[in-house]
Amino acid sequence: MKMILAVIQDKDSPKLTQNLVKAGIRATKLASTGGFLREGNTTFLIGCADEEVESVLRVIREVCRAREQLVTPLSSAAGATDSYVPFPVEVTVGGATVFVLNVERFEKV
């Protein structure tokens, strides 16, 4: 068994939920926050059989789009110093950041 962790953009979350349900794939959605942009994103936890991993990834690929986003990074220090001049940079976010982990044991009690 595998656990798929997929960090996706909030905008893609309703469609991904819908398509996973249609495909008979069970999932849990968590509200999460990106460490870099410090904006909300969504993390899906999807437990599935080893042989289902590719079809789950297919659904994720179909739904989750990469988007360009203009961001003004915050200074890493809590308070910006006088010498810190923030300027906007363009980053490509998504489609999805996916981790596939082995599940040692699974129980429903």
Q: Residues in contact with ligand 2BA, total (CB under 6 A)?
A: 11
Among 7, 20, 59, 98, binds ligand 2BA (CB under 6 A): 7
Strand partners, 33: 40
Whole-number Å distance between alpha carbons of 21 and 18 = 5
- Residues 93, 8: contact at Cβ < 8 Å? no
CB of 23 to ligand 2BA, least distance (A): 23
Closest CA to 87 of 102, 97, 74, 99: 74
- With CA atoms as reference, report the closest residue to 41 among 26, 27, 31: 31
Q: Does 37 bind ligand 2BA (CB under 6 A)?
A: yes
Pick the stretch among 12-20, 21-29, 51-59, 93-101 that binds ligand 2BA (CB under 6 A): 93-101
Among residue numbers 59 through 88, which ones bind ligand 2BA (CB under 6 A)? none
Binding residues vs ligand 2BA (CB under 6 A):
7, 34-37, 41, 91-94, 97
